[in-house]
Amino acid sequence: MPNHRSNQQVHWRSGGPCLECFPNITTEMDPMNWKCFASLLVLFFLNAQVNADDTTSSKDTAADEKSSDELTDKFVTTEHSFSVAGETIDYTATAGRLVMQTDELDPKAEVFFVSYTRKTDDVTKRPITFCFNGGPGSSSVWLHLGMLGPKIIRFPDDASFLRPPYHLDENHQSLLDITDLVFIDPVSTGYSRPAKDVNKSEFHGYNEDVRSVGQFIHDYTTIFERWLSPKVILGESYGGLRVAGLSGYLRDHYKMELNGAVVISGAINFQTLRFSPSNDVPDVCFLPTYTATAWYHKQLNDELQSLPLADVVAESEKFAYRQYAPALLKGTSIGKKERERVAKELARLTGLTEDYLLSSNLKLSMQRFGKELLRDEGLTVGRFDGRYTSIDRDSAGETPEFDASGAAIFGPFTACLNDYMHRDLNYKDRRVYEILTGNVHPWSYKPFEGRYVDASETLRGAMAANPSLKLFVACGYFDLATPHFAMEYTIDHMGLSPERSKNLTIKHYEGGHMMYIHEPSLKQLRKDLVEFYDEAVGHSAD
């Protein structure tokens, strides 16, 4: 049976009535025949109604299409189990986007996250940890598949390169047995994106980032009913600056109190990291890591090479504060004998020549050190992890062509994340998962105009206001991006009271910026964090 109404619509649009619907009407009809004319009038009004109905239908369809295109929350859950500390852990993984909205409920951005929740009778008794990396411009993949999540990439402990194809193993050092985990990709990283017609500058800056990540934490806590759970925030690298900012923002804006804050290889005060002729602080702060890296590559004298790493580093720290810093403060007013004496000790602690150090006026940037240390061997050392080496086009340059450690880890993390997302977590998205992107630039540091970026005062204020807030700091000895001595300098200058200093824990590991890719360090890190969580949140319901 044909759809006559549909045929009327089609044929009248093409210039004539449907003969199947009106078989008595012919194309040879006498135009002066009033019966035919009346029939044509009937057809005209019928067609007008059809067109009106069609218009309404089109509007409805358009409305439906618009509705289907609206940005909405999307959560995909899967069930899994694995073992930690000899115990089988059953958990739910949720991968998805949470739509952040304005107070008028207009979408601002979609924020992608992956959470792991251990099955329990009372979720409010389970601690929850919000995790993020740094950059700015980094997704949370590094902490996710390198340290905390139930799956992990295993790297050789000798800092050699993995050979593709790569694979994931169970992470028996995960913290999922003691805390639920939420991995956050800030806007423009991972699958997170600004909403349509929302300018990305609303998220790409210190204040903007703290505000958007803070809102995500608030929204997630509300949607998944975790307000009564003990809460910890955990950040790596620039994520340390974000931790400091969030410690104040969550408290001030949402009245959300934290039990703990964890900083992995963090940057909180950029004065300790930004080399310049007028800033001597980085030269002092990086020196002990130069010593550790030279020790690892056997570039020190026999006396220093025979010492344990921690002892060698301690000697370098002592020299840095007592002799090196005062010498740098004198600038060109330093006497010749003192200058030569300092250069000699610098050479002893770095493996470089006195002539090189004298010609550089006793100041040594990380990039110069990375190129110079193994120049005679035609090798450069990595920035994220000084244990890694690579080969430049030639040995005549002043700085390495690229970061050897970055080249060793970016590929494995990218491949494993994309496979894991689709295969294990069943989350499908045809967009690029932005592992580490420059799309966040330009990045605004407007609150710090005229001074170095430094959020340590915000962190101090949060710890002063909340006696229960405990801080854990993890540092890698071979981290040439955010050296351990720079973090210690930052903490020493925070002005924590003796009482609040009791809430601080600092630990060091024989790894780099991502010390967790060195398995002995990962095992020790888990052990230290289990003790920290026990103090910060106590044993919670399993």
Question: In this structure, are 209 and 318 located in the same domain?
Answer: no
What element of type H or E holds 390? strand 389-390
The domain total for the chain is 2
Distance CA 17, CA 403 (A): 74
Last residue of a domain, one of 339, 372, 402: 402
Of 102, 444, 465, 452, whose CA–CA distance to 248 is shortest? Answer: 465
Question: In this structure, are 120 and 199 located in the same domain?
Answer: yes
Question: In this structure, are 393 and 486 located in the same domain?
Answer: no
Task: Tell whether 470 is covered by a domain.
Answer: yes
**SS3 of 90, please?**
strand
Distance CA 133, CA 135 (A): 7
Question: In this structure, are 136 and 264 located in the same domain?
Answer: yes
User: Can you read off the two tokens belonging to residue 349?
Assistant: 């602690």
Question: In this structure, are 260 and 376 located in the same domain?
Answer: no
C-beta neighbour count of 138 within 10 angstroms: 24
Question: In this structure, are 490 and 385 located in the same domain?
Answer: no
Distance CA 406, CA 403 (A): 5
Distance CA 528, CA 534 (A): 10
Question: In this structure, are 207 and 320 located in the same domain?
Answer: no
Distance CA 19, CA 25 (A): 7
Q: Which residues pair with 127 in a beta bridge?
A: none
**7 HSE (CA, 13 A, CB side):** 10
Task: Tell whether 115 is covered by a domain.
Answer: yes
Q: Which residues pair with 459 in a beta bridge?
A: none
Q: Give residue for tokens 């390169």.
A: 161
Task: Tell whether 138 is covered by a domain.
Answer: yes
Contact between residue 194 and residue 188 where contact means Cβ atoms under 8 Å apart: yes
Q: Give residue for tokens 């994931």.
A: 168
Task: Tell whether 3 is covered by a domain.
Answer: no
**SS3 of 472, please?**
strand
Last residue of a domain, one of 349, 372, 402: 402
Peptide bond into 442 cis (omega under 30): yes
Contact between residue 273 and residue 486 where contact means Cβ atoms under 8 Å apart: yes
Q: What is the pLDDT of residues 400-412, one digit of tens each?
A: 999 999 999 999 9
Hey, CA dihedral for 516, 522, 527, 528, is it positive or negative?
A: negative
Distance CA 158, CA 389 (A): 11
Question: In this structure, are 333 and 232 located in the same domain?
Answer: no
Question: In this structure, are 396 and 427 located in the same domain?
Answer: no
C-beta neighbour count of 415 within 10 angstroms: 17
pTM for the predicted model, two decimal places: 0.86
Question: In this structure, are 181 and 256 located in the same domain?
Answer: yes
Task: Tell whether 51 is covered by a domain.
Answer: no
C-beta neighbour count of 495 within 10 angstroms: 11
Residue-by-residue pLDDT tens, the chain, 542 positions: 333 333 333 333 333 334 333 333 333 334 334 343 344 333 334 344 444 444 443 333 333 333 446 899 999 999 999 999 999 999 999 999 999 999 999 999 999 999 999 999 899 999 999 999 999 999 999 999 999 999 999 999 999 999 999 999 999 999 999 999 999 999 999 999 999 999 999 999 999 999 999 999 999 999 999 999 999 999 999 999 999 999 999 999 999 999 999 999 999 999 999 999 999 999 999 999 999 999 999 999 999 999 999 999 999 999 999 999 999 999 999 999 999 999 999 999 999 999 999 999 999 999 999 999 999 999 999 999 999 999 999 999 999 999 999 999 999 999 999 999 999 999 999 999 999 999 999 999 999 999 999 999 999 999 999 999 999 999 999 999 999 999 999 999 999 999 999 999 999 999 999 999 999 999 999 999 999 999 999 854 44
Task: Tell whether 302 is covered by a domain.
Answer: yes
Last residue of a domain, one of 375, 402, 429: 402
Contact between residue 165 and residue 405 where contact means Cβ atoms under 8 Å apart: no
Contact between residue 287 and residue 280 where contact means Cβ atoms under 8 Å apart: no
Q: What is the DSSP letter of 256?
A: P
Contact between residue 116 and residue 95 where contact means Cβ atoms under 8 Å apart: no
**SS3 of 286, please?**
helix
Helix ranges (H only) for 126-205 are 141-143
CA angle, 78 then 170 then 420, to 5°: 50
Task: Tell whether 29 is covered by a domain.
Answer: no
Q: Where are the beta strands (DSSP E) in 166-302?
A: 169-170, 180-184, 193-194, 231-236, 260-264
Question: In this structure, are 334 and 265 located in the same domain?
Answer: no
Q: What is the DSSP letter of 463?
A: H
Peptide bond into 230 cis (omega under 30): no
User: Can you read off the two tokens belonging to residue 132?
Assistant: 């993020």
Whichever domain contains 174, its CATH number is 3.40.50.1820
Of the chain, the end-to-end C-alpha distance in Å amounts to: 64
Of 310, 306, 189, whose CA–CA distance to 238 is shortest? Answer: 189
Q: Pairing state of beta strands 180-184 and 151-152?
A: unpaired
List the domain range (segments joined by +) for residue 349: 280-402
Q: Pairing state of beta strands 74-84 and 87-101?
A: antiparallel
Peptide bond into 136 cis (omega under 30): yes
Question: In this structure, are 157 and 267 located in the same domain?
Answer: yes
Task: Tell whether 65 is covered by a domain.
Answer: no
**SS3 of 117, please?**
strand
Q: Give residue for tokens 């992990």.
A: 152
